[in-house]
Chain A
Amino acid sequence: MTPFQIILVAVLSLVALATVALAMRGSIGRLAGVGWLAVTGAGIVFAIRPNWTTDIAHLLGISRGTDLLLYLLVLAVLQGFLLIYLKLRRVRRELTLLVRELAIREAERRGDGGAGDTERR
């Protein structure tokens, strides 16, 4: 193995171990754990046997293995953006609900015994 292959395998193995640890602690979902394990596992295999990416690429009608990896990377990045965006939307929504509740409570606290309660039925 070349030095770079050794580094790659070492790093990917650490990621795989971290994934297992996180999944066992329940920090990430089971599905996400399996998915990450599959990705890192495939990474390790391809690091050791780079030619296999070319073989798979040919099966899919892509001429080079590096192209296959590039396409997969693009898809993964897009997926990542989407997930982050959805998460951000949810957080923004929760923030709005929180800010709203605080605003109403603060106003009601200030208004207790004060003006405005005449309209309450």
Chain B
Amino acid sequence: MVAEGTWVVVPVYNEATAIGGVVAELRRTFPNVVCVDDGSTDGSWKAVLSATPHALRHMVNRGQGAAIQTGTDYALRRGAQRIAHFDADGQHRVEDLVTLTEAVASGTCDIALGDRFSGDAAAVPAARRALLRAAVAFHRLTSGIALNDVHNGLRVLSRRAAERIEITADRMAHASEIIDLIAESGLVYRELPVRIRYTDYSRAKGQSWAGGFRIIFHYLVGRILG
């Protein structure tokens, strides 16, 4: 079955209250959920351990990009056919993940990316929309790739794509790095409409403009220094 070959990687950093429910919901559809606790300090690790048999822990915080790559390495070693990225704060919907998974499993693309704008864009709060639009414009300039929604954490990669795309940007710039790697690799990607569940909780966890500039800085340094 499609869901069984798909290993869902959930990077976790201080999400003790949310992670249990998110993983439980995921596992009703996707049996293989890998949680990578990125050195949380709030008891997330205990929640992760009881939520899934595939619990990994970074002893020190290394950033979301690093956590995703750790989960990916683990899942690939276990024979994953597809790798999915899913946020720990409950902002993604499992039914959207199913849609993306089917797109990759059917062979129409190597990578399926969640796109919160092509569907019901009004569901995205205005301040969020402006920030994310800025990120999109930035990417058109730097990688020449024209995506609707570059910083969406919901993705599904085929095994082939996951093996080719190695995330080295430890922190949040990994989203940008993935786009560049897709552009360079010639892998086939598709953006599919998804809905983000904006709750006070997930919104508080989201990026600020200051965070955005930090991402650009790390991204550019990474590009220049390799």
Task: Enumerate chain A interface residues (CB-CB to B < 8 A).
Answer: 86, 89, 92-93, 95-96, 99-100, 102-104, 106-108, 110-111, 114-117, 119-121
User: Are A103 and B59 closer than 8 Å at their CB atoms?
Assistant: yes
A contact residues around B56 at 8 Å (CB): 103-104, 106-107
Q: Can you list 25 pairs linking A and B with CB atoms under 8 Å apart?
A: A93-B170, A95-B60, A96-B62, A96-B66, A99-B58, A99-B59, A99-B60, A99-B62, A99-B70, A100-B58, A103-B56, A104-B73, A104-B74, A107-B54, A107-B74, A108-B74, A110-B55, A111-B54, A114-B53, A116-B32, A119-B4, A119-B5, A119-B32, A119-B78, A120-B79
User: Are A116 and B53 closer than 8 Å at their CB atoms?
Assistant: yes
Give the residue among A96, A103, A120 with the most B Cβ atoms within 10 A.
A103
Q: Say whether, besides A104-B73, A107-B54, A120 and B225 are in contact (CB < 8 Å).
A: no
User: Are A89 and B53 closer than 8 Å at their CB atoms?
Assistant: no
Q: Say whether, besides A86-B225, A93-B168, A102 and B59 are in contact (CB < 8 Å).
A: yes
Query: Does B80 sit at the interface, judged by CB under 8 A?
Result: yes
Whose C-beta in chain B lies nearest to the C-beta of A114? Answer: B53
User: Are A104 and B77 closer than 8 Å at their CB atoms?
Assistant: yes
Give Cα A95 to B170, complex, Å: 11
A contact residues around B32 at 8 Å (CB): 116, 119
Interface size class of B (residues with CB under 8 A): 20 to 34
Whose C-beta in chain A lies nearest to the C-beta of B222? Answer: A89
Query: Does B105 sit at the interface, judged by CB under 8 A?
Result: no
Whose C-beta in chain A lies nearest to the C-beta of B49? Answer: A110
A contact residues around B55 at 8 Å (CB): 107, 110
User: Are B57 and A95 closer than 8 Å at their CB atoms?
Assistant: no
Given contacts A99-B60, A110-B55, A116-B32, list 4 more A-B pairs with CB under 8 A. Answer: A92-B170, A95-B62, A103-B36, A120-B78
Kindly supply a per-residue 1/0 record for chain B positions 52-94, scoring 1 wherever the CB is within 8 Å of any chain A CB and 0 otherwise: 0111111110100010011001100111100000000000000
Give Cα A18 to B66, complex, Å: 40
